[in-house]
A and B are shown apart, each in its own frame.
Chain A
Amino acid sequence: MNLLLLIGIPLVAALAVLASRNAKQVRWISLTGATAQLIASFALLFAFKTERAAGNTAQMLFEQKHALFPAWNINFHLGVDGISIAMILLTSFVLVAGVLVSWNVEKMTKEFYFLLILLALGAYGFFISLDLFILFFFLEISVIPKYLLIGIWGSGKKEYSANKLALMLMGGSALILVGMLGLYFEGGRSFDLLQLSKMSFDTTTQHILFPLLFIGFGVFTALFPFHTWVPDGHSSAPTAGSMFLAGISMKLGGYGCLRVATYLLPEGAKEYANIIIVLSAIAILYGAFATMMQKDLKYINAYSSVSHVGFSLLGIGMLTQTAMTGAVMQMVSHGVMTALFFAVIGMIYDRTHTRMVADMGGLMKVMPFVATVFFIVGLCSLGLPGLSGFVAEMTVFVGSWEHADAFHRIATIAAAMSIVVTAVYILRAVGQTVMGPIKNEYIQLKDANWNEKLAAILLLAGILAIGIAPFWLNDLLKPGIEVIMQKLASVN
């Protein structure tokens, strides 16, 4: 399968959106494009499975390489393994749901969908690129759409949030850039991920470059203490924007931490693993406790995202096969879950015009569909078995427990304690919102529309697919993680 398709479809869709005449056309073109992309992603999954079943054990499949800037040895090098495919699937799910949820955006519809698709384009490009330069290009391409989506269509202190997000992410990018240039010049003038992975950088280089890259990507994925853009950004963004930010954009960082920082610089990863563990344990606990204090539904999910994404960083920091698998699972699981969470919050807000938990109540009576989905996604967030959150977090914990020393045990226990806190805030928020007596002004409210139902069902299907049958995801991720583990094992 030609991977250019994954960039081509969004590109064509974005251009078609620009050329379209009215809002209705824009919506349908976007939906068609997003659906085509979803189908392409599944096609990629099956093509990948077939290739693997046929005994193709190459590290990356469907590779292609075109010279881009030969003077710098920069190539347009694409390829996928199981980890990228999981991420691509996630992006497609969130994109379709995002398009559906934004069906009622009236303000500058064309620009909105154009930017949304551009954002997705960046994510697809990021997950399939095997050249650090184009990876960085696709990572950065999302800066403008994010900034404008929040600043124009957002709510609350949107200008402040948009600025903060753009600048903090740019700061992360600056660190990545320096780290990347370091890899380039120390690694024989190549940005190629596969070529760089064969180099052995000397210890000092690794110790300098690893923090640059890890923190740089960490900013994207809310590494404590660089998480402060998350609550503001997520809560100010429009619904689809929040879904994308929390569901996909934060995963770009996690993917980068794993694929670029940890994979290319194993010695650096070992050196700093304990710091990563401490920081992510803090993020997990701090995020959970901070969520307890929030009264705004979007802030609740934003802070809980900090906590949940902490699990993937914790998994990476543990440096064991199981924990890392759990980390990637958590990225996928949290992506789907948080996208659904934000979608439901958006649906509630569109109807009640408030996001304050205290102002709501009894929504189950007027909008049973929305309320039920809200309930399920809440349970997923607190890690109920059968849903995706449980699988991912459990895997991280099991992987972490493989270390027998006190430090790792304590960190794991501390992280595990957050689940109790999660249960408290989730049950409280969900309970107050959907249970209890209904307020008079809400009696007239209607349940979800077809588009909202479709979006919710799609994402719910994702949650259940991981929750009930996690093996397929595990099998998909396994070879990719093994390569990283081998590289880690190759240094003492």
Chain B
Amino acid sequence: MLNDFLILMKPELTVTVILFLLLFIKIGKGMKNETLLPLIQVLLLLNFLLGFFFNKQGVLFEGLYTSTSMIVFQKNILNLGVYLISLLCADWLRKTPHLPEFFMLMLSALLGMFFMISSGNLLMFYLSLELATIPVAAMANFDLEKKISSEAAMKMILSSAFSSGILLFGISLLYGATGTISFAELPAQLDGSPLQIMAFVFLFTAFAFKLSIVPFHLWTADVYEGSPIAVTSFLSVISKGSIAFIFISTLYKVFQPMEAIWYNMIVVLAIATMVIGNLFALRQQNIKRFLAFSSIAQVGFILVAISSNSPAGLSAVVYFVLIYVFSNLAAFGVASVISEKTGRENIDEYKGLYKTNPFLTWVLALALFSLAGVPPTAGFFGKLFLLTAGATKADYWFVTVAALNMIISLYYYLRITRAMFMDKNDQPIEKLRPDPSARLALLICTAGIILTGLLSWVYDYIVKLN
């Protein structure tokens, strides 16, 4: 029993151990950021690597906590993302006065996400969701001297509280209608009565808030813009990824009987999310806001695959999130290097970047092409599989709309590429020397962007986990 417990909850336990280690360092003598940051990076790397060993499937606490090889893999993706963020934002992290607290918050949020993905019960799900959200709001406030950062934190905490309220309401209604909150028992109780549908809609809304699905996306851009880039990338990659994972498993496992209802909801919301995310991204000048709206549009594409209600949909989404981790973190990483060294975040200021910083330019260009879904980058395969999964229902109009949205998204991704490669600038950003760890992380991301697609066994591996 204890053995099972230790092995099944290994990802959570490792994160908790690191968390406490940081706490001891903080309340003990304290450490300089210069020594602490590499230590944290190594710990996170170990945490990521440990995720590949001693894995087991099983259920704990009478169904409260479940672990499957797919769930373990999803946690590994999140671990990888956190590790990459710790490398990419090294410049900013080193300067922040409260480094241990920052990572304590980030790891608590990560812990919440782990429990959330593993939850087998609505109560557990709700608790872990809160654990995954509240620390992030505190993190958003970490640019202490910037007003916009506090504003972002405030907006985030208010909108999260609101969506949590809706979620709780939905859970209570569902409990009232079915008499159970266990994921395993719920499907048998679902008969599509109006009260259940009502409860489901509330639950769905809460998910939509967290995933920033249009029309619940309004908090996204402001929060992304105000937060430090380390937090923005955490929010847009790790948070989004984890919510997408639990969203898809709730829909497929728990709400399977109500498929006829949620299929239509997802189709409508996916189209709205893609179109509106894309149209807003067209006009953005700030690179963080730009990436915020583009990530909204990406969620729309994820919804396309989710609508398929098939194992193929699940593997396509997991695969896409993996690629998205590499692509989006690379984009944010470059933005972070530039913003930290020069304070520039405007797309117009990226003009002529290629002349001075060819490495950064290529990484950003590849990341953007991957986000746009242009080969040979992995994003091409990711997007294509999302759409292929979406087409299993033979709803070709839906897929056509998605495919046409890829054109719009290409347009705005090209805008940045054009600024960097082609436009002239009298005062281009000077030659930057990114931190070695940031450089390493950018290389890892680049390798990921190119190889995840071309090495086809990666996708195969994910399919076999299912």
A residues apposed to B, CB below 8 Å: 68-72, 133, 137, 140-141, 143-144, 147-148, 151-152, 158-159, 162-163, 166-167, 170-171, 174-175, 177-178, 181-182, 184-185, 208
Contact = CB atoms under 8 A, between A and B. Distances in A.
Contact of A185 (B380, B385, B394): B394
Nearest to B422: A151
B392 A140 contact: no
A162 B418 contact: yes
Interface residues of B, number: 33
A111 to B, nearest CB: 9
A177 B392 CA distance: 14
B418 A174 contact: no
B421 A151 contact: yes
Nearest to A181: B391
25 contacts: A69-B460, A71-B463, A137-B375, A137-B376, A137-B380, A140-B375, A143-B374, A144-B374, A151-B422, A159-B418, A162-B418, A167-B407, A170-B410, A171-B404, A174-B400, A174-B403, A174-B404, A175-B403, A177-B384, A181-B387, A181-B388, A181-B391, A182-B396, A184-B391, A208-B396
Nearest to A70: B460
A182 B387 CA distance: 12
Contact of B396 (A70, A158, A181): A181
Interface string B413-436: 010011001110000000000000
B456 A159 contact: no
Nearest to A166: B414
Given A177-B387, A178-B399, A185-B392, 18 more contacts: A68-B456, A69-B460, A70-B460, A133-B384, A141-B375, A143-B374, A158-B422, A163-B414, A163-B418, A167-B411, A171-B407, A174-B406, A174-B407, A177-B403, A178-B396, A181-B388, A182-B391, A182-B396
Q: Which 6 A-B pairs have the closest CB atoms?
A: A174-B403, A71-B463, A181-B391, A151-B422, A141-B375, A68-B456
Contacts of A166: 410, 414
Contact of B459 (A69, A152, A177, A184): A69
A69 B387 CA distance: 15
Interface in B443-462: 456, 459-460
Contacts of A151: 418, 421-422
Interface in B364-403: 369, 374-376, 380, 384-385, 387-388, 391-392, 394, 396, 399-400, 403
B383 to A, nearest CB: 9
A147 B411 CA distance: 12
Contact of B399 (A143, A170, A181): A181
A178 B384 CA distance: 10
A420 to B, nearest CB: 39
A369 B392 CA distance: 59
Contacts of A70: 460
A147 B417 CA distance: 10
A337 to B, nearest CB: 30
Contacts of B456: 68-69
A407 to B, nearest CB: 32
Contacts of A170: 406-407, 410
Output the residue of A152, A181, A182, A185 with the most chain B CB within 10 A: A181
A141 B460 contact: no
B384 A148 contact: no
B356 to A, nearest CB: 14
B315 interface: yes
A159 B423 contact: yes
Contacts of A174: 400, 403-404, 406-407
Contacts of B396: 178, 181-182, 208
A220 to B, nearest CB: 15
Contacts of A167: 407, 410-411, 414
A69 B394 CA distance: 21
A140 B380 contact: yes
Interface of B: 312, 315, 369, 374-376, 380, 384-385, 387-388, 391-392, 394, 396, 399-400, 403-404, 406-407, 410-411, 414, 417-418, 421-423, 456, 459-460, 463
Contacts of A178: 396, 399-400, 403
Contacts of B459: 69, 71
Contact of B388 (A72, A140, A143, A171): A72
A58 to B, nearest CB: 27
Nearest to A68: B456
B418 A72 contact: no
Nearest to B419: A159
A250 B406 CA distance: 22
Output the residue of A152, A158, A171, A174 with the most chain B CB within 10 A: A174
A12 to B, nearest CB: 15
A208 B399 CA distance: 14
B388 A152 contact: no
A154 to B, nearest CB: 9
B352 to A, nearest CB: 12
Contacts of A72: 312, 385, 388
A184 B392 CA distance: 10
A140 B374 contact: yes
Contacts of A177: 384, 387, 403
Contacts of B418: 151, 159, 162-163
A118 to B, nearest CB: 9
B399 A148 contact: no
B411 A163 contact: yes
A449 B417 CA distance: 35
A11 to B, nearest CB: 11
A429 to B, nearest CB: 30
B410 to A, nearest CB: 5
Contacts of B414: 147, 163, 166-167
A393 to B, nearest CB: 34
Output the residue of A72, A143, A208 with the most chain B CB within 10 A: A72
Contacts of A143: 374-375
Contacts of A162: 418, 422
Contact of B376 (A141, A147, A152): A141
Contact of B312 (A71, A140, A158, A175): A71
A152 B421 CA distance: 7
Contacts of A133: 384
A184 B407 contact: no
A144 B422 CA distance: 14
B264 to A, nearest CB: 20
A178 B404 CA distance: 10
A162 B385 CA distance: 28
Contacts of B387: 177, 181
Contacts of A175: 403
A167 B392 CA distance: 27
B455 to A, nearest CB: 10
A112 to B, nearest CB: 12
A137 B456 CA distance: 13
Contact of A148 (B312, B385, B411, B421): B421
A71 B375 contact: no
A152 B312 CA distance: 40
Nearest to B392: A185
Contacts of A140: 374-375, 380
A175 B402 CA distance: 11
A151 B415 CA distance: 12
B330 to A, nearest CB: 16
B294 to A, nearest CB: 16
Contacts of B315: 71
A71 B460 CA distance: 7
Contacts of B384: 133, 177
